[in-house]
């Protein structure tokens, strides 16, 4: 995420974003011994900065002074070991601990730190002093290698949202251990200290989790880019192949209802960015959900209090073949009103209720035609919906081209 050989974190003057003298850096933090900073979070209450890196964890003051530095690796580990023990034949070796998730739990003033060691386990640290390890949990949660993606964030979830909060986690399947089939691609995990990081709700065949099926998971890798919560739903932005067979990569929005204890509401829609010259930017690279300023809100037809998704997309670099997930050099910033995104999901669900689409995704479960459902009003029980394969989402640039390029969601004709 932050990539230089000697990583530097810079604090700009003025309002914290704009320097007083033409972009002058007034404060910085660097560690020449680390290759990369993987994740950075800022405590919204105190301004303290936390950084996760390979084998390192840092706590900085609001003005980037180093407060605490913790070493998290390397440690003796083997992919043949489970989270609780190792077979006698397992060959352990010193292995780097790559930070995979760094999340602040504001309700308990703790920092959740997840690394690639020991099948991708997590620990809980004191938010005021990261040297204080509150709890170590032997539960495989995140990706267990250097390159596979992980996205984690806290939002309302079962059993009693919005009172209860859970940690939503999206993980790329690594396949480097016999135990990885037990780690869901998407899950909601408990933050209750008595069952920390376990699946929040489980039943015989369902729960707050989604797996890529065993026939597809070795070849169908989902890359998780960003996650957020808005309007009673949690979302993940991903890049993945169009189908479970060899096919071009596209971007998708994944959505789960906060009060869904079985993930029946798990739904996906494709999302991309198409310029007015029909140039398609199909691979999402980074994103952020925030509020729109007055001008942008007016352009999008929303209020300044509504959520907006800002996303950077790239084109596919096809020099490595039609199924390449490598981004090309060109990119575009796209802006989406969450109201428009919710409307698109609802349109797709309505299409399924009308019997005009397919229900199911081939990398999760077999696809079946949607069954027409009679309803006197457009009020649906989302727990009766599983995954819906529907029309693609298309974006169009707003008419006022003198301002920031703004893209709105439209159905593809």
Structural domain of residue 309, as residue ranges? 212-345+391-413
Tokens of 36: 């990369």
Q: Is residue 313 part of a domain?
A: yes
Would you give per-residue pLDDT tens digits along the chain (413 residues)? 333 323 445 544 434 444 444 568 889 999 999 888 999 999 999 999 999 999 999 999 999 999 999 999 999 999 999 999 999 899 999 999 999 999 999 999 999 999 999 999 999 999 999 999 999 999 999 999 999 999 999 999 999 999 999 999 999 999 999 999 999 999 999 999 999 999 999 998 899 999 999 999 999 999 999 999 999 999 999 999 998 888 899 999 999 999 999 999 999 999 989 887 888 999 999 999 999 999 999 999 999 999 999 999 999 999 888 889 999 999 999 999 999 999 999 998 888 888 888 888 889 988 889 888 765 444 444 433 334 443 344 443 333 332 333 333 333 33
Give me the sign of the Cα torsion angle 15, 18, 20, 24: positive
Q: Is residue 314 part of a domain?
A: yes
- Whether 25 and 39 have beta carbons less than 8 Å apart is answered as no
> Which run of H or E residues covers position 311?
strand 307-316
Q: Which pair of tokens denotes residue 294?
A: 């007055």
pLDDT tens digits, residue range 255-288?
999 999 999 999 999 998 988 788 899 999 999 9
Per-residue pLDDT reduced to its tens digit, 353-401: 888 888 888 899 888 898 887 654 444 444 333 344 433 444 433 333 3
Question: Looking at residue 289, what is its pLDDT?
Answer: 97
Query: What pLDDT is stored for residue 278 in this prediction?
Result: 81
Residue 147 is assigned to a structural domain of this protein: no
Q: Is residue 47 part of a domain?
A: no
Note the pLDDT of residue 180. 95
- How buried is 26 (Cβ within 10 angstroms: 0-12 exposed, 13-18 middle, 19+ buried)? middle
pLDDT of residue 392: 40
Order of strands, sheet of 150-156, starting from the edge strand that comes earlier in the sequence: 150-156, 165-171, 186-190, 209-210
CATH number for the domain harbouring residue 298: 2.130.10.10
Residue 116 domain-assigned? no
Q: Taking Cα atoms as reference points, which of 124, 132, 87, 121 lies closest to residue 108?
A: 124
Q: How many domains does the chain have?
A: 1
Give the pLDDT score at 368: 86
Burial tier of 58 (Cβ tally within 10 Å: 0-12, 13-18, 19+): buried
Of 277, 276, 274, 287, the C-alpha closest to 239 is 287
pLDDT of residue 366: 85
Tell me, letter by letter, the H, E, C secondary structure of the chain. Answer: CECCCCEEEEEECCCCCCCCCCCCEEEEEEECCCCCEEEEEECCCCCCEEEEEECEEEEECCCCCEEEEEECCCEEECCCCCCCCCCCCCCCEEECCEEEEEEEECCCCEEEEEECCCCCCEEEEECCEEEEEEEEECCCCCCCCCCCCEEEEEEECCCCCCCCEEEEEEECCCCCCCCHHHCCCEEEEECCHHHCCCECCECCCCECEECCCCCCCCCCCCEEEEEEEECCEEEEEEEEECCCCCCCEEEEEEEEECCCCCCCCCEEEECCEECCCCCEECEEEEEEEEECCHHHHHHHCCCCCCEEEEEEEEEECHHHCCCCCCEEEEEEEEEEEHHHHHHHHHHHHHHHHCCCCEECCCCCCCCEECCCCCCCCCCCCHHHCCCEECCCEEEEECCCCCCCCCEEEEECC
Alpha helix ranges (H) inside 262-364: 294-300, 338-353
The answer to whether the pTM exceeds 0.75 is yes
Is 57 part of a structural domain of the chain?
A: no
Q: What is the pLDDT of residue 22?
A: 58
pLDDT tens digits for 198-215?
999 999 889 999 999 999
User: pLDDT at position 374, please?
Assistant: 65
Distance CA 148, CA 166 (A): 22
Residue 77: inside a domain: no
98 DSSP assignment: B
Give the whole-angstrom CA distance, residue 325 versus residue 98.
22
pLDDT at 367: 84
φ/ψ bin of 16: left (φ > 0), alpha (ψ from -120 to 50), beta (otherwise) = left
The reply to whether 160 falls in a domain is no
């Amino acid at each position: 995420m932050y990539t230089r050989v000697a990583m530097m974190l810079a604090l700009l003057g003025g309002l914290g974003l704009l320097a007083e003298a033409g972009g002058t850096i007034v404060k910085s933090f660097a560690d020449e011994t680390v290759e990369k900073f993987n994740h950075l979070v800022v405590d919204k209450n105190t301004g303290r900065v936390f950084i996760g890196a390979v084998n390192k964890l840092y706590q900085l003051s609001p003005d980037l002074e180093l407060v605490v530095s913790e070493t998290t690796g390397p440690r003796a580990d083997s992919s043949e070991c489970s989270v609780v023990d190792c077979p006698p034949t397992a060959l352990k070796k010193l292995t780097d601990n790559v930070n995979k998730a760094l999340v602040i739990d504001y309700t308990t003033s703790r920092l959740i730190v997840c690394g690639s060691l020991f099948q991708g386990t997590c620990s809980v640290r004191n938010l005021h002093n990261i040297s204080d390890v509150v709890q170590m949990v032997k539960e495989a949660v995140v990706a267990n290698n250097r390159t596979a993606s992980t996205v984690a964030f806290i939002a309302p979830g079962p059993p009693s949202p919005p009172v209860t909060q859970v940690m939503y986690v999206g993980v790329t399947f690594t396949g480097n251990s016999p135990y990885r089939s037990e780690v869901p691609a998407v899950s909601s995990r408990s933050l209750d200290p008595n069952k920390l990081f376990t699946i929040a709700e489980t039943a015989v065949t369902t729960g707050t989790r989604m797996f890529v099926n065993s026939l597809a998971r070795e070849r169908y890798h989902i890359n998780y880019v960003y996650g957020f919560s808005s309007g009673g739903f949690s979302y993940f932005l991903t890049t993945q192949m169009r189908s479970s067979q060899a096919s071009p990569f596209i971007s998708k929005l994944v959505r789960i209802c906060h009060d869904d204890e079985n993930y029946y509401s798990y739904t996906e829609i494709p999302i991309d960015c198409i310029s007015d010259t029909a140039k398609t930017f199909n691979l999402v690279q980074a994103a952020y959900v925030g509020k729109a300023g007055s001008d942008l809100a007016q352009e999008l037809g929303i209020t300044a209090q509504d959520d907006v998704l800002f996303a950077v997309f790239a084109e596919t670099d096809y020099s490595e073949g039609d199924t390449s997930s490598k981004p090309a050099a060109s990119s575009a910033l796209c802006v989406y009103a969450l109201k428009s995104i919710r409307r698109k999901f609802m349109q797709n669900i309505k299409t399924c209720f009308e019997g005009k689409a397919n229900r199911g995704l081939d990398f999760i479960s077999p696809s079946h035609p949607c069954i027409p459902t009679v309803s006197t009003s457009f009020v649906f029980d989302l727990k009766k919906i599983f995954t819906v394969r529907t029309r693609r989402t298309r974006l169009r640039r707003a008419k006022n081209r003198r301002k920031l390029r703004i893209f709105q969601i439209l159905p593809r004709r």
